[in-house]
Chain A
Amino acid sequence: MDDIELFKKTFFQECADLLGSLEAQLGSLQSGDRDPELVHESFRAIHSIKGGAGAFGFRRLIAYVHVMETVFDLIRSDKLELSDELLNSAVRASDVLADLVHAAEVGQDLEANFESAAANDLAQAAGLDRDQSLFDTLASQSSTATMSAPPGAKRRCTIEFQPKYDMLRRANEPILIVRQLKELGDVKTMVDTSALPALDAIDATDAYLAWTFELETDAGIDVVREAFEFVEDDCHLSITFEDIADAAEPVLAASAGGETPAPRAISTASIRVELERVDRLVNLVGEIAIGQAMVSQQIDDELVKTHPRLVQELTALLAHTHNLQESVMAIRAQPVKSIFARMPRIVRELSDQTGKAVRIEMAGENTEIDKTVIEQLLDPLTHMIRNAVDHGIEAPQDRLAAGKPEEGLIRLRAEQRGSRIVVEITDDGRGIDRERVRRKAIDKKLIAADAHLSDEEIDNLIFLPGFSTADSISDISGRGVGMDVVNKNIRKLGGRVSIRSVPGRGSSVMLTLPLTLAVLDGMVVRSGDETFVIPLTNIIESLLLRDDLVNDVAGSGKVLKFRNEYLALIDLKQTFNIPAQQDMPNELAIVVEVEDGSLVGLVVDEIQGQQQVVIKSLEENFDVIPGIAGATILGDGEVALILDATAVRELNGRRPANSANTGKATMENQEIHP
């Protein structure tokens, strides 16, 4: 029997007692005894039945009891006289109540109007009009209405809050309110200490401080106001909202600085600037970098000889531009702390829900990443933490049986490695059940039944689209959203996901992310007279396209032999209808990894070099082009398109149906030999 059933049983036992009591009180009243305590007792019984009915959502019962409760509340507060007629109606009503309770207990469906007559009769006898009885409306309402804010854009909410003396007397503490506001978004806290008397004059129970909170939140005013629900009458409170984009002037403010708010007058350590302004700056600096690159391309030996000083200054300028670009990017950077900080709570709630004891340890919270990356990291990270608790960490008894500490441990760590950020989520749980993963992948036709895969390859199968490890959709790990979605989201950010697992010892998921989304390291290639940029993170290898490496497969086009595997070969000229040029006989293949982890060979004419490019949105400046992720301006002023390899493959309809990491399984089954 689960908890709810147990509670229901208790409830119905209690109802039996309460109905018995109600009957006895009403009986005494009918016999002429008008002791007010009899009315109070009746009210209490009705009231308790309503409370329990509400807890279990017996709506019909609630609606009905509400009428009885209203009537008895009026009687007990002497607003209504208990006439014989009213009493008789009440007795009949209590009989019907007993029937309703019984029906709820055994799950019986009573006919639609079963209780209407008794309810209306009672309401009429009590002189309530139809509206007041609320009977019909209540019956259709949900029993527990909770406040929810319409989702919307982040707005800046300014809250002025000045507690009165009484607030503290009722054990409402400002620090708890600050804590609650912090859950709604970034809070800047300013405190006005001007009313603070000298130390010896301070009454510890009095309130002297006034606060101003600046909250950036997508929550509505109802939700913000909720934080002040218990203190609204014990303070001066003003809450105002403004759209962040409308705040033209940057606001000087003290930084939030942990639990101790800094007074407004002292600190101006940080300055708030709209994101839009920063983006404009990032863009402009990007333009400068491009202009710089164009100028640099003009430097040749001739110029070095004739204008050595100019070249020297230009070189210095190049270094400054590079530094400027990095500094501007750093403005957008934020410590991962802002999302890491949410994880302990998630772990706590999950361990409550699952009954597993889990602890989380975090390191590298001050590692900084671009704000956009951080925002898009929250969901995947939350999902992986949920996965770790839900599927990774075992139940306490299983852990003890396996000789592990009862409490599971999840480690969350971030660090910068070169121009990438690595975020690692490690748990000491049961690890990946490789046999189960394998079976599942075969069931879902993601791999062939006889495919030979290494342990690592099996572990990484969970990232394939359509794969979900939970046999039944778990409430906790998030309804069907599996690691494939995590993988997809991280890849969209230009990152990679990988997993390592030791059965019985735990798993470790590693996310590698770019520091920023505004620039990327790319390989510049040429196809016909078009120039493309392929993100370096996607590139596995580039090779000369020798005849012996290429095969024609009927129905599948050309394939490339690569490390003893066969990859789909896609010619960019065909994909984008680029006329061929005669003077380039030696074609090259760039082997790239696409979103689902499989490899594809892209045929190009020439590799022109490797460089950092500033990403410009095509969508904003032109239109969406299938297969193209964005555009950039190269040093020579030419616009180059940034390839989206996954989309390019889809354009070609070359989606290997059952390849795991590579085309291996497909080709082996077809037994094709060069």
Chain B
Amino acid sequence: MRILTVDDSPTVSQMLKATLVAAGYDVVQAENGQEGLKVLKKNEVDLIISDVNMQKMGGFEFVTQVREDPDYMGLPILFLTTEASDDFKQIGRDIGATGWLEKPFDPDELLKVVRRVTH
């Protein structure tokens, strides 16, 4: 199973990768939404985990564009964010996110949620 992570923080990206790889997932990474779209075109992925606040293209814009493509209709997408407020969740839902994870993430919690939304 391959997971795309999109986050502009090297710390977060590195921790995501280490956690997911250790759990047996393939991981491809991008630093922002623009790059995320490119990586998505080149790789078949089973799940996207994306930050919200990013330069160039933020998470909301990125996910909106992903969902516009019918090919990615059934693709689970998680937002990784420090602000899981009700407003945020509503926006996330409206643009088609599957779920969300709060930052900072606990590795076990991350894996639990990943398993929850993937086959």
A residues contacting B by CB (< 8 A) are 3, 6-7, 10-11, 13-14, 43-44, 47-48, 50-56, 69, 143-144, 146, 166, 168-173, 175-176, 180, 205, 227, 229-230, 233-234, 348, 352
Contact = CB atoms under 8 A, between A and B. Distances in A.
Interface in B91-119: 93, 96-100, 103-106, 109, 116-119
Contacts of A6: 14
Interface residues of B, number: 34
A51 B96 contact: no
B1 interface: no
Contacts of A234: 93
B109 A144 contact: yes
A348 B14 CA distance: 23
Nearest to B100: A230
Interface in B1-27: 8-12, 14-15, 18, 22-24
Contacts of A14: 9-11
B17 to A, nearest CB: 10
A57 B115 CA distance: 25
A172 B117 CA distance: 7
Contacts of B30: none
B53 A47 contact: yes
A7 B93 contact: no
Nearest to A41: B55
Contact of B117 (A44, A146, A176): A176
B104 A352 contact: no
Contacts, number: 95
A51 B77 contact: no
B99 A352 contact: no
Interface string B40-56: 00000000000001010
A233 B93 contact: yes
Contact of B73 (A10, A143, A169): A169
A54 B103 contact: yes
Contact of A55 (B97, B99, B105, B118): B105
Nearest to A56: B104
Contact of A54 (B14, B73, B97, B104): B104
B92 to A, nearest CB: 9
A176 B119 contact: yes
Contacts of B65: none
Contacts of A227: 116
A348 B23 CA distance: 9
Given A7-B14, A44-B55, A47-B53, A171 B117 contact: yes
B5 to A, nearest CB: 14
Given A44-B55, A205-B73, A352-B22, A7 B99 contact: no
B15 A170 contact: no
Nearest to B119: A176
Contacts of A13: 10
B100 to A, nearest CB: 8
Contacts of B117: 171-172, 176, 230
Nearest to B80: A51
B109 A146 contact: yes
B117 to A, nearest CB: 6
B50 to A, nearest CB: 14
A7 B96 contact: no
Q: Interface SS of chain A: helix, strand, loop or mixed?
A: helix
A50 B82 contact: yes
B93 A52 contact: no
Contact of A352 (B23, B73, B98): B23
Contacts of B22: 352
Contact of A169 (B8, B23, B96, B109): B96
B75 interface: yes
8 contacts: A14-B10, A47-B82, A51-B12, A69-B82, A169-B73, A170-B98, A227-B116, A230-B116
Contacts of A166: 93
Contacts of B106: 144, 146
A172 B74 CA distance: 8
Contacts of B55: 44
A229 B99 contact: yes
A180 B96 contact: no
B11 A352 contact: no
B12 A352 contact: no
Contacts of A171: 73-77, 98, 117
Contacts of A168: 74
A234 B93 CA distance: 9
A10 B14 contact: yes
A660 to B, nearest CB: 41
B99 A230 contact: yes
B77 A52 contact: no
Nearest to A231: B99
Contacts of A55: 11-12, 15, 103-105
Given A44-B55, A171-B76, A230-B117, A52 B98 contact: no
A18 to B, nearest CB: 9
Given A7-B18, A144-B109, A180-B116, A170 B97 contact: yes
A43 B93 CA distance: 24
B104 A51 contact: yes
- Most chain A CB neighbours (cut-off 10 Å) among B11, B97, B105, B106: B11
B114 to A, nearest CB: 11
Contacts of B103: 51, 54-55
A1 to B, nearest CB: 13
A230 B98 contact: yes
Nearest to B108: A146
Given A10-B14, A171-B98, A172-B98, A51 B9 contact: yes
Given A169-B73, A352-B22, A48 B9 contact: yes
A172 B96 contact: no
Contacts of B74: 168, 171
A170 B24 contact: no
A143 B15 CA distance: 17
A169 B53 CA distance: 24
Contacts of B119: 173, 175-176
Contacts of A56: 104
Contacts of B104: 51-56, 143-144
